[in-house]
Amino acid sequence: MNIPIPMYLAFITSIFLALWYLYAWLYKDYTVDLYRQKIFELRDDLFDFAADGHIGFNHPAYCVLRRTMNGHIRFSHRINLLALFVHSFLLDKETIANTPFSFEKQFTKSLSSLEEKTAKKLITFKINLRNILTIHLLIRSPILTILVVLFFILTVIPVVALIVWGSKAIDFCKQPLLGKIRNIEAEAFALGKL
């Protein structure tokens, strides 16, 4: 059956547009919603930590951490790898560190008045916030998303096949490669005759 070229091109274009729609709107919106939900959960844990009496709601360390989480929630739709690279390219570390809005500077300064156990717990909240941010940056990037899918296809699926089917999977994978190797060997043998 021969498919006319215009019909084939229309089909390929519609597939491409559907995938673009899935990625550009649905997937991106999903990743932003997921990120916000994770930050909400972390902020709720921080609130519970303060409600249990470990730190005051007006303590600067609590306020800095909560304010930063609120900023992440509010501007999560703007956070992506490209923005991170442009931001880091345009602003040097010294400029960022010396601004009055330096999170690291304010957070570190506010921890000095706390007990060691409480300070460590707040540092854990900060680390969790950064972990959530890192995952968000990775899953929101189209290039990294494609690379992860390719990695999954090229590594995880063969490993699972190997585990499930054992040596049969190895034999199945070897068949096409072994045939090509035999062709090369036969060609080399024929050409190598003196």
Domain interval for residue 174: 143-194
Number of CB atoms found within 10 A of residue 101's CB: 10
Sign of CA dihedral 60, 63, 67, 69: positive
- The reply to whether 133 and 149 lie within a common domain is no
- The reply to whether 48 and 9 lie within a common domain is yes
Token pair of 47, please?
């609130």
Residue 32 has pLDDT above 90, yes or no: yes
- The reply to whether 98 and 156 lie within a common domain is no
3-state secondary structure of 81: helix
Domain count, the chain: 2
- The reply to whether 188 and 99 lie within a common domain is no
Q: Alpha helices of the chain — where are they, by DSSP H?
A: 5-21, 28-51, 60-74, 81-90, 93-97, 103-111, 116-140, 142-151, 157-165, 167-191
Q: Which residues contact 28 (CB under 8 A, 6 or more apart)?
A: 140
- The reply to whether 105 and 33 lie within a common domain is yes
Read off the amino acid at residue 160. V
Average of per-residue pLDDT across 108-118: 93
Q: What is the pLDDT of residue 79?
A: 85
Between 6 and 128, name the one with better pLDDT.
128
Confidence of residue 193 (pLDDT cuts 50, 70, 90): low
- The reply to whether 70 and 130 lie within a common domain is yes
CA–CA gap between residue 148 and residue 33 (Å, rounded)? 21
- The reply to whether 130 and 178 lie within a common domain is no
